[in-house]
Amino acid sequence: MIAASPAFDLEDIMKRSLALLLLTLFLGACASEGPIFPIDVEFEDVRWVLEPDAEASFSQQTPTFTDTPREVITSFQLRPGQRNTALETGQRWRLGHTWLFGFDIRAKASELPRVPVDVARFVRISAPEELLARVQLDATNGITVMGRRCFTPSDLSQWVRVEMRVRIRDDDQGFLEVFCNRKPVWAMDKVRTTFAPPCRRADGCTTPLAEPARFRFQMGMMSARAQPRTAAIQMRRIHRRGLLYIPNRVGNLNSAQ
């Protein structure tokens, strides 16, 4: 027994050292990349878009995919008279979870939607359904986030990146942050993210939350109005990542503090 003890101790020390090294590298990588996770560790799960249940039930036009060993490019198109073409995720999301999700997007100037569309939505789908955050696109303004300019129409001739980070809470400890090319554009902190912002119990926003609370992240082209002519966009690196470590929080970055 005495002879085996040093070997056990050495193995234990090696395991602890390896764990500490991995943690140090992980936190260091996160902190060096700004407010959100480095791109090279984000895209572990981008092929979920190919799953049969990834298409949103309200989608009128099925997205098409270009599947290569390196990436999956998703093409969304709306024909005249159509309003929605979309994917969605979030079946396992619950109160208390923190998620980062995002995508690269590009579009030809001639195919930008004339009628504004949501290219990304964070929604509560439990009754009554409520839109909690949106990223919009149209041919005049390009991409806007909650009313703030994100990318001009000409920017979309090449790939640009949009991301959201949300902590789903029904008390005043939630947050919602939106990034464009990895820079914060809009953010609200210490809010109930189960209702459209700004909602804080401390400010009198105490509407009861219907249970069970369910949430979805939807992306594509979605609008209450039909398109007068064909519109098309492409997305790639559409990812979702549950977070335990939240680096470099943004705080509040909006007009309604």
**pLDDT tens-digit readout, 225-242:** 999 999 999 999 998 888
> Residue 248, class by beta-carbon neighbours within 10 Å (0-12 exposed, 13-18 middle, 19+ buried)?
exposed
Q: How far is CA 127 from CA 26, 175, 191, 210, 214, in A?
A: 39, 22, 20, 7, 9
Q: Above 60 in pLDDT, residue 250?
A: yes
Extents of the domains making up the chain: 1-32, 39-242
Average pLDDT value for the chain: 84
Share of the chain above pLDDT 90, in %: 64
Beginning with the edge strand found earlier in the chain, give each strand of the sheet holding 117-124 in spatial order.
Answer: 84-89, 215-222, 117-124, 130-138, 142-145, 148-151
**pLDDT tens-digit readout, 136-189:** 999 999 999 988 999 999 999 999 999 999 999 999 999 999 999 989 999 999
- Whole-number pLDDT of residue 173: 95
- Assign 13 a pLDDT band (cuts: 50, 70, 90): very low
> 91-100, 204-213, 224-233 — which is least confidently predicted?
91-100
- Whole-number pLDDT of residue 30: 42
Q: Above 70 in pLDDT, residue 208?
A: yes
- Whole-number pLDDT of residue 31: 40
**Residue scoring higher pLDDT (210 or 135):** 135
Fold designation for 39-242: Jelly Rolls (2.60.120)
Q: CB atoms < 10 A from the CB of 72, how many? A: 17
- Whole-number pLDDT of residue 213: 86
Please state, in angstroms and rounded to a whole number, the distance separating the CA atoms of residues 197 and 188. 8
Share of the chain above pLDDT 70, in %: 78
- Whole-number pLDDT of residue 224: 94
Q: What is the mean pLDDT of residues 114-125?
A: 95
b/e 150-179 (16+ beta carbons within 10 angstroms → b): bbebebbeebbbbbbbbbbbbeeebbbbbb
Provide the Cα torsion 107, 108, 113, 117; round to 10°. 10
- Assign 90 a pLDDT band (cuts: 50, 70, 90): confident
- Assign 221 a pLDDT band (cuts: 50, 70, 90): very high
State the pTM of this model.
0.82
- Whole-number pLDDT of residue 39: 60
Please state, in angstroms and rounded to a whole number, the distance separating the CA atoms of residues 115 and 165. 27
Q: Above 70 in pLDDT, residue 76?
A: yes
Tokens of 15: 């395991």
